[in-house]
Amino acid sequence: MSPRESKGGALSIIVAYHKQWEFQVTILKERFDKELGFVYTVIVKNQSDKKRDIRLVFHQQNLAAFTRQISFVSPSKQTILHSGQPYLSLLAARFHNEINCQLAVGKKEKVWCDREGTLVLAPLCRDGQESMIVSKLQMEPSQETYGRIWEVFGQTEKEVYVKHYQQATFDKLKQVVTKQTLK
């Protein structure tokens, strides 16, 4: 894939197309703020006449110099918490038509298998602030789908979960409106 990026105001757009697979990914970087966090909207289009299984991989490596760094996965809430004194961040993703979502914390070299395109380990807790989200999508020919990835910041777990639930609720409303618009 060869990506191309365009920036305008608070919005950045990245478009990548894979010629052989006839597959396009568009990423809208909607917001980035050190206090609020970021939101990416990812639009995926299978432009081929074949059904495809796709894995979208989001790898994050926070290089900020915090005094103490530890990361946790919450399987029940499908979130990743990064703790670095004095802040917490919460990372999450939701994709329409998602079959499976895997979360892992730890060094990419230890949890990811490039050859198979899968997580080989999914630790629930690790030192550091490196994490991965792998979303598996099954796409019909000419199908388009979308999802969102977000990270919110705060000083307490309660604060980041309040912001997370606000974003998740907004995402659900956006999915309902989009479904109704497409009908």
**Separation of CA 56 from chain center:** 8
Please report whether residue 20 resides in a domain.
yes
Q: What is the pLDDT of residue 38?
A: 87
What 3-state class would DSSP assign to 50? coil
Please report whether residue 182 resides in a domain.
no
Please report whether residue 178 resides in a domain.
no
Task: Tell me what the mean pLDDT of segment 159-171 comes to.
Answer: 85
For the chain, the domain total comes to 1
Please report whether residue 8 resides in a domain.
yes
pLDDT at 143 exceeding the cut of 70: yes
CA distance readout (Å), 145 to 49, 81, 103, 132, 141:
16, 27, 21, 21, 12
- Split at pLDDT 50, 70, 90, the class of 169 is confident
- Split at pLDDT 50, 70, 90, the class of 117 is confident
Please report whether residue 163 resides in a domain.
no
Summarised one tens digit per residue, pLDDT across range 10-22 is 678 899 999 999 9
pLDDT at 182 exceeding the cut of 50: no
Summarised one tens digit per residue, pLDDT across range 30-84 is 766 666 688 999 999 999 999 999 999 999 887 665 556 889 999 999 999 988 7
Mean pLDDT across the chain, nearest whole number?
Answer: 83
Beta bridge partner(s), residue 135: 56, 101
Please report whether residue 169 resides in a domain.
no
Which pTM value belongs to this model? 0.82
Q: Which of 92, 8, 139, 6 is nearest to 16 (CA)?
A: 6
CATH code, 50: 2.70.98.40
Please report whether residue 125 resides in a domain.
yes
CA distance 101 to 75: 10
Please report whether residue 82 resides in a domain.
yes
User: 140: domain range?
Assistant: 2-156
- Classify residue 114 by its DSSP letter: T
Beta bridge partner(s), residue 44: 25, 145
